[in-house]
Amino acid sequence: MNSIKQNLVQIKSTIPEHVTLVAVSKTKPVTDLMEAYEAGQRIFGENKIQEMTDKWEEMPKDIQWHMIGHVQTNKVKFMAPFVSLIHGVDSLKLLQEIDKQALKNNRVIDCLLQIHIAEEETKFGLDEKELALLLASEDFHNLKNIQILGLMGMATFTENQNQIKKEFTHLKSIFDSLQATKTVNCNLNTVSMGMSGDYQLAIECGSTMVRIGSSIFGGR
């Protein structure tokens, strides 16, 4: 079996320079994360706020922590002091809470809006209409301590490459049309899509940020 370092080197060799690698370390022990850290990795993705906060406390402070999971409003305060990017923002209510906690910490928190691109009903995210309404709303315009860097999406869990490609291409096209219109609180440069099983296809479809877990750290 390859080491975490070998996996990282291998994956990085397949990712172009302009694509950011988020090492998804959820459920993995700090010793595994430190192995990736020693190999040069500085961006880690977690899906539970408590677990991310524990790891943040324990690990070197030059790590950028990305929250990639669904966020409960009442837990935003725990990560507000240190989180570097929140991928799964899918409501105005959540954005307002992030804004409030960011203000308390005297900072601006970067966010991605999660778009529902998959066929499954169960996956979180905004549809295009909800996205347009959110970005046009006065409540959104009034926020001062958040910044939207782009969009995040997860494809349907399927072997059908055409289906996945269609969904990634759809997300990229929503991003492109957003970028073409000037919107307050936005500095659009990030399309977060692609995981261990589909990141190469995601990059072909315009991803600028891939979230890779099991191919680096092994199965969970």
Positions that interact with ligand PLP (CB under 6 A): 24, 26, 47, 68-69, 154, 195-197, 211-215
CB of 87 to ligand PLP, least distance (A): 7
CA distance 50 to 174: 32
CB of 156 to ligand PLP, least distance (A): 14
Taking the least distance from each CB to ligand PLP, the nearer of 47 and 145 is 47
Taking the least distance from each CB to ligand PLP, the nearer of 52 and 143 is 52
Alpha helix ranges (H) inside 17-160 = 30-38, 49-58, 76-79, 92-104, 128-136, 138-141
CA distance 53 to 48: 9
CB of 80 to ligand PLP, least distance (A): 20
Taking the least distance from each CB to ligand PLP, the nearer of 127 and 157 is 157
Residue 16 has which token pair? 């172009």
Judge whether 212 and 24 are in contact, CB under 8 Å.
yes
∠ CA 130-94-118 to the nearest 5 degrees? 45
CB of 40 to ligand PLP, least distance (A): 19
User: In the structure, how many helices (H) and strands (E) does the chain have?
Assistant: 10, 8
Taking the least distance from each CB to ligand PLP, the nearer of 115 and 212 is 212
CB of 88 to ligand PLP, least distance (A): 7
**Which of the 8 DSSP states describes residue 167?**
H
Phi-psi region of 127 (alpha: psi -120 to 50; beta: other; left: phi over 0): beta
Residue nearest to ligand PLP (CB): 213
Taking the least distance from each CB to ligand PLP, the nearer of 81 and 197 is 197
Residue with tokens 């990736």: 36
Angstrom CA distances, 162 to 152, 159, 192, stand at 19, 9, 19
Taking the least distance from each CB to ligand PLP, the nearer of 24 and 95 is 24
CB of 123 to ligand PLP, least distance (A): 9
